[in-house]
């Protein structure tokens, strides 16, 4: 069952990753950098507010496992009310945000973007029921269909001149399509009734308040750089910074949801068996580190080639921010990949809340000091600070909650980093032997380096970590390909 779930989750995230990359690549050629600058400001408000859409209560159903009709309905009405009220609140503060950044476009863009909270909150409780019943395959299919529909909407409206608004037309359409699919195919017994329990509400609120607080603070940290830079740099430079930030977030946005969606129900069901929990966490951390570190190494070492291919030669100023932002997201993603699911699965959301509160104080102080010096300096300061915090994360979460050992945490990170760097440099050396025809063609160069380095990297990972985190043998993969070819002949 887990293998099938993982397959569909991977397919879904791969599809979303490819479509989102394609969408950004097309929009980079249709929109101006200033458009992305305005979008960045609006998305700061949206990303922070999105956490409040269901008040963190939907995951309470996953934590409880046994769900009564009353609890089910109580969570739905809480989620639905919070989403609608949040939409109204954001519409109300739109003039203030527009005046604060002295940008009239925000007046129309922020209410449009806020509309996504309505379908999001209406489907949160039902989505939790899918997760409880391990029906993640269906959610993966809904994600693919809705994302494709949203991408078509975004590209179409951008092509016909909607500018920055096209991005939000697509996101709103995606949310409504996904909500409709979740409701239409849900088990009828999951539907809410006109019942409400204050006792269940208090239990859900007690669980959700720390989770919501943690996520709210976490999103504030992740978006505070854009929020402050908007006061010091122009829209073009903010747009370049935002495009680099979007690209460097892609690996974690693709990989972490897969790991978390599979890990959360497993950790929740193993919360009474600490030995099993420890074993699951060790394997999950090794797999996540192996998959995450390589793409961030690519972004650091081949940043100019990557930007030219994804955004076009006209957006090369984006490459200026790639290395520090890739390091920041790499440190953050690898170090904290399992923090959320561990605290939610074990009901330790209070620890996560106070940790994120500490992080907010540290990052706010650093951003307040560095932002005035520019986006580049801020990016490097963020990367250095996150490297320090990555090691503290181990002490606060892994060691304290599940008695994880430091070598289990740091050795996979260091090992896969070295293998990544060696693989990419070896691939570059081999590719350069093909001469200027390949080296001067950005697409062919990136394709060859990626293919060769991935092959070398996988072999290195298999040799070093196959015993603790089993992987398919490279020789078996090669033999299977030969067998397929023979059958075809």
Q: In whole angstroms, what is the distance from residue 327 CA to residue 387 CA?
A: 8
**HSE, side-chain direction, 13 A CA sphere, residue 143:** 22
pLDDT in tens, 19-71: 888 888 898 888 888 888 888 888 777 776 666 665 666 677 776 667 778 88
Among 140, 147, 152, which residue's Cα sits nearest to residue 177? 147
Q: In whole angstroms, what is the distance from residue 268 CA to residue 228 CA?
A: 38
Q: Report the number of distinct structural domains present in the chain.
A: 1
Confidence of residue 454 (pLDDT cuts 50, 70, 90): very high
Q: In whole angstroms, what is the distance from residue 385 CA to residue 452 CA?
A: 33
Asked if the structure places residue 170 within a domain, the reply is: no
What dihedral do alpha carbons 128, 132, 133, 138 form, nearest 10°? 40
Unique residue bearing structure tokens 């015993």: 467
- Residue 190 confidence (pLDDT) above 90: no
Its domain, for residue 423, covers 250-489
Asked if the structure places residue 381 within a domain, the reply is: yes
Across 44-53, 223-232, 317-326, 373-382, least confident range: 44-53
Asked if the structure places residue 222 within a domain, the reply is: no
- Residue 397 confidence (pLDDT) above 90: no
What's the rounded mean pLDDT across residues 256-262? 78
pLDDT in tens, 412-447: 999 999 999 999 999 999 988 887 777 888 888 988
How much is the pLDDT for 488?
A: 47
- Residue 153 confidence (pLDDT) above 80: yes
pLDDT in tens, 329-372: 999 999 888 887 777 777 777 787 788 888 889 999 999 999 98
Q: Say if residues 131 and 5 touch (Cβ distance below 8 Å).
A: no
How many angstroms separate the Cα of 46 from the Cα of each of 42, 50, 102, 436?
A: 6, 6, 18, 46
CA angle, corner 352, sides to 203 and 325, nearest 5? 140
Asked if the structure places residue 458 within a domain, the reply is: yes
Q: Say if residues 204 and 74 touch (Cβ distance below 8 Å).
A: yes
Q: In whole angstroms, what is the distance from residue 487 CA to residue 489 CA?
A: 5
Asked if the structure places residue 445 within a domain, the reply is: yes
Burial class of 348 by CB neighbour count within 10 A (0 to 12, 13 to 18, 19+): middle
Asked if the structure places residue 236 within a domain, the reply is: no
What's the rounded mean pLDDT across residues 106-118? 89
Q: Say if residues 473 and 461 touch (Cβ distance below 8 Å).
A: no
Q: What is the per-residue burial (b if ≥16 Cβ within 10 Å, else e) of 170-187?
A: bbbbbbbbbbebbeeebe
Q: Say if residues 37 and 109 touch (Cβ distance below 8 Å).
A: no
Share of the chain above pLDDT 70, in %: 88
**Over the Cα atoms of the chain, what is R_g?**
23
How much is the pLDDT for 482?
A: 52
Show the DSSP H helices in 270-316 as ranges: 274-301, 303-310
How much is the pLDDT for 467?
A: 67
Asked if the structure places residue 341 within a domain, the reply is: yes
How much is the pLDDT for 271?
A: 67
How much is the pLDDT for 293?
A: 94
What's the rounded mean pLDDT across residues 182-189? 91
Using DSSP's 3-state secondary structure scheme, residue 450 falls into: helix
Q: In whole angstroms, what is the distance from residue 152 CA to residue 276 CA?
A: 44
What's the rounded mean pLDDT across residues 399-424? 90
Helix (DSSP H) and strand (DSSP E) numbers for the chain: 21, 0
Asked if the structure places residue 330 within a domain, the reply is: yes
How much is the pLDDT for 343?
A: 77
CB-based contacts of 279: which residues, under 8 Å, 6+ apart? none
Highest-scoring range by mean pLDDT, 130-144, 174-188, 463-477: 174-188
Token pair of 486 as six digits: 């023979």
What's the rounded mean pLDDT across residues 298-306? 92
Query: Average pLDDT over the chain, rounded to whole?
Result: 84
Q: In whole angstroms, what is the distance from residue 471 CA to residue 461 CA?
A: 9
């Amino acid at each position: 069952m887990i293998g099938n779930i993982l397959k569909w989750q991977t397919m879904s995230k791969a599809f979303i990753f490819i479509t989102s990359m394609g969408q950004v690549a097309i929009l980079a050629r249709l929109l101006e950098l200033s458009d992305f600058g305005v979008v960045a400001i609006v998305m700061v408000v949206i990303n922070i507010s999105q956490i409040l859409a269901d008040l963190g209560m939907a995951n309470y159903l996953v934590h409880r496992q046994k769900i009564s009709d009353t609890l089910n309905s109580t969570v739905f009405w809480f989620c639905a009310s919070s989403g609608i009220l949040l939409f109204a609140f954001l519409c109300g503060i739109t003039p203030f945000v527009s005046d604060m950044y002295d940008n009239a476009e925000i007046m129309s863009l922020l209410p449009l973007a806020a509309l996504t909270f309505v379908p999001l909150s209406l489907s949160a409780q039902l989505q939790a029921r899918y997760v409880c019943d391990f029906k993640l395959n269906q959610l993966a299919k809904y994600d693919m269909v809705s994302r494709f529909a949203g991408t078509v909407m975004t590209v179409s409206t951008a092509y016909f001149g909607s500018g920055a608004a096209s991005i939000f037309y697509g996101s709103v359409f995606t949310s409504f399509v996904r909500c409709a699919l979740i409701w239409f195919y849900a088990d009828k017994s999951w539907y809410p009734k006109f019942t409400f329990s204050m006792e269940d509400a208090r239990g859900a609120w007690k669980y959700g308040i720390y989770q919501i607080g943690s996520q709210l603070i976490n999103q504030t940290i992740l978006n505070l750089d854009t929020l402050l830079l908007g006061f010091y740099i122009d829209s073009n430079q903010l747009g370049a910074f935002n495009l680099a930030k979007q690209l460097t977030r892609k690996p974690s946005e693709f990989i972490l949801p897969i790991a978390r969606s599979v890990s959360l129900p497993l950790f929740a069901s193993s919360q009474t068996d600490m030995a099993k929990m420890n074993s699951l966490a060790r394997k999950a951390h090794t797999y996540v580190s192996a998959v995450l570190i390589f793409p961030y190494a690519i972004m650091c070492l081949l940043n100019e080639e990557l930007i030219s291919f994804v955004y076009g030669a006209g957006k090369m100023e984006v490459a200026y921010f790639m290395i520090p932002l890739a390091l920041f997201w790499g440190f953050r993603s690898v170090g904290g990949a399992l923090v959320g699911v561990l605290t939610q699965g074990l009901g330790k959301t209070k620890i996560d809340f106070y940790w994120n509160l500490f992080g907010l104080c540290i990052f706010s102080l650093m951003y307040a000091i560095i932002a005035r010096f520019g986006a580049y300096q801020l990016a490097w300061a963020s990367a250095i600070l996150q490297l320090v915090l990555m090691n503290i994360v181990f002490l606060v979460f892994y060691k304290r909650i599940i008695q994880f050992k430091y070598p289990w945490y740091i050795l996979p990170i260091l090992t896969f980093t070295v293998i990544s760097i060696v693989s990419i440099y070896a691939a570059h050396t081999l590719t350069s032997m093909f001469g200027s025809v390949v080296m001067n063609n950005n697409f062919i160069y990136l394709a060859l380096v990626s293919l060769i380095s991935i092959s070398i990297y996988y072999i290195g990972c298999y040799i070093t970590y196959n015993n603790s985190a089993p992987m398919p043998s490279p020789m078996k993969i090669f033999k299977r390909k030969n067998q397929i070819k023979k059958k075809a002949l």
